Structure 1
């Protein structure tokens, strides 16, 4: 796998839009492409015992999502491309984006999809990237115990712990 800088054209042999998306049903692909945004919203939202994050935290999260463009993983790059294409061409789905209670089951469902369909390296890269979105948002504000618990639960739901 090769490294490139964001915005740099793909190197020879590296696809700009991977063919791996065909391996997923529409529902599975929808789950994989909406989960990073759901994690960002949950990490930036106020919840019981958690202070609201500011706009800067949301921007940090958007930057973390965009950082997936430079991933070595075809899957992560394809998900980022789909996120940008959706936001360029249509409104993002809003159902359940901010529901913190639905996030762990959605993460576990994504892990099951990845186990069935993805290359193990792509699966690991996707799960680590999604977690990195939350980590960057939570760490952009003063660390708090609730944020650490959120990250621990998220890491468990993504099968990273």
Structure 2
């Protein structure tokens, strides 16, 4: 339990200082907190050899994000708390004249996210976590992000088997996250 400098417990069960967020820059924290949602969107993008995803797949991804609240990782729980705290923000990434959003993320007003850009962001996130996170929190975050994509790939009305295209994407995602 975290205590204030005066030796009293913090109000309403809160920690005296957010231990997990203090070590990250604003840009790094933005990357870590936006990546799970971007993984959901990128995993639903129609690709050659991949059946189009429906609402069930998107909901499975959102449930996987929410499942992070129960993880035994301060980092994952802090990321989920930040995601839910952003509920008032617009859900689309603003686009510039060249059709690229903030930090070079390819998107449009419909919310399209390029899976290749997500893989790049996963590599960046893995480097940030190697430098700044507790190894257990780093592993938990990276595994959680991978599990989000896996749940989207397995969601569907009929066959929960993962297609070869999805299997390849999950392998690439795992490699980008430093899990393979």
Q: With structure 2 as the length reference, what TM-score do the two structures score?
A: 0.77
Structure 2 unaligned runs (5+)?
1-12, 94-100, 106-111
Q: CA deviation at 1:18?
A: 3.8
Q: CA deviation at 1:14?
A: 8.6
* 1:1-161 superposed matches below 5 A: 18-87=18-87, 89-92=88-91, 94=93, 95=101, 96=105, 98-141=113-156, 142=159, 143-161=162-180
- Alpha-carbon distance between aligned partners in 2 of 1:75 and 1:85, rounded to the nearest angstrom: 15
Structure 1 unaligned runs (5+)?
1-12
Kindly tell me the number of residue pairs found equivalent between the two proteins.
148
Q: CA deviation at 1:105?
A: 1.1
Regions of 4+ moved over 4 Å: none
Say which is worse superposed, 90-99 or 71-80, in terms of deviation: 90-99
- Alpha-carbon distance between aligned partners in 2 of 1:109 and 1:93, rounded to the nearest angstrom: 22
Native 8 Å contact 1:86 1:92 kept in 2 = no
Q: With structure 1 as the length reference, what TM-score do the two structures score?
A: 0.85
Computing the radius of gyration over CA atoms, which structure comes out larger, 1 or 2? 2
- Alpha-carbon distance between aligned partners in 2 of 1:66 and 1:58, rounded to the nearest angstrom: 12
Relative contact order, higher structure (CA 8 A, sep 6+)? 1
